[in-house]
Amino acid sequence: MHKVEIKKVDGRPDIIDVSDFDNLTNKRKPYFYSASQRYALCPTCGSIVNIVGGKGSSLQSTRNKNAYASHLGSIPPIVNVQGLAFNSNYTSCPAYQGNNNNWQGLYKNNRTQTINQKLQSYINNHSQEIAKEMSELTGVIFYNRTSTNRLYSDVLDSFINNKGLYTNSFYPDFVSRQILEVASPVDFWGYIITNATALSTVTKSVIGKDLVDSQLKSSNVQFVVDIDNINSPKNLLVKLLYPNGELVISKATANPL
């Protein structure tokens, strides 16, 4: 996982990207003891995790060049347990990498009768970050220089209207995919496509005539993201829908790990 939970100095919880770990913890205990001993909590199951990789750390992965967080089987003796808990059921967490395809359970329709306040708060407080992740996944721009754009707002509104917040699933690395997958088709006039393959695909299609540079200007085209298989998703299919047809402009892995 690439997002972990810590507590701010005032005691409020905060979810941060591991790349910002030293900066946002100020290397204070119980989160930082050395470059090889960085600890936090899993935002999903609440159990202690350690940071693998990063500058100066002796904990390095041969598969991942960027730092990430991994569940621990117990609390290390050096760690002050105040604020850092251990969940003995951590192996059932979707973020636990020891489970083969356990993450696919995130796509199940785990609906509840109440809004997931933690998910709602995360979306409200990390909109720019989520928009950038959605852009990376789809090859379509969801933000501008200072904020999110109208496409992001429309997709998020559709996610909310489709009861996307009424779920017991909360895994920060999954939220951008979660919003895209739950949202219904939205209008796509005037939005920018940045992915070179997607641009080429659109250019060669029947809606290519409405493409001005990388901006699609057609009033009858909609944007939607679907999973390729509702039983065992592998990919997100990024589509543009138009009268009498559809176009898959890009694909992204459904796996958030």
Q: In this predicted model, what pLDDT tens digit does every residue of 199-226 receive, in sequence order?
A: 999 999 989 898 888 888 888 899 999 9
Average pLDDT, the chain: 87
DSSP output for 48-116 = EEEEE-STT-S---SS-SS-EEEE-SS--TTS--TT----TTGGGSTT-TTSTTGGGGGGS--B-SS--
Which of 71, 99, 127 is the last residue in one of the domains? Answer: 99
Query: 129-140: per-residue pLDDT in tens?
Result: 999 999 999 999
Tell me, yes or no, whether 72 and 134 share the same domain. Answer: no
CA distances from 62 to 42, 54, 59, 98 (A): 22, 13, 10, 16
Are both 197 and 74 inside the same structural domain?
no
On whether both 117 and 57 belong to a single domain, the answer is: no
- The residue from 45, 69, 99 where one domain ends is 99
Q: How many domains does the chain have?
A: 2
Q: What's the one-letter identity of residue 66?
A: N
**Together in a domain, 88 and 157:** no
Based on the domain organization, do 143 and 227 belong to the same domain? yes
Percent of the chain with pLDDT over 90: 41
pTM of the prediction?
0.81
**Based on the domain organization, do 150 and 57 belong to the same domain?**
no
7 pLDDT band (50/70/90 cuts)?
Answer: confident
Q: Domain check: are 63 and 123 in the same one?
A: no
Domain that holds residue 211: 107-253
The token pair that represents 243 in the structure block: 């009268």
Distance CA 196, CA 44 (A): 35
- Return the H-helix or E-strand segment holding 220: none
46 and 158, same domain (yes or no): no
Q: What angle do CA 30, 36, 38 make, to 5 degrees?
A: 30
Average pLDDT on 166-181 reads 90
Give the dihedral of Cα atoms 110, 136, 95, 55; nearest 10 deg. Answer: -160
What's the CA angle centered on 32, arms 103 and 98, to 5 degrees?
Answer: 20
Torsion of CA 43, 229, 238, 108, to 10 degrees: -30
Tell me, what's the pLDDT at 132? 94
- The angle formed by the CA atoms of residues 52, 55 and 61, to the nearest 5 degrees, is 35
114 with 91, same domain: the answer is no
More confident residue, 113 or 186: 186
Residues 10, 125 within the same domain: no
Take residue 71 and report the two structure tokens written for it: 């569940």
Residues 77 and 137 in one domain: no
Same domain, 227 and 111: yes
Order across the sheet with 235-242: list the strands.
186-187, 222-227, 235-242, 245-253
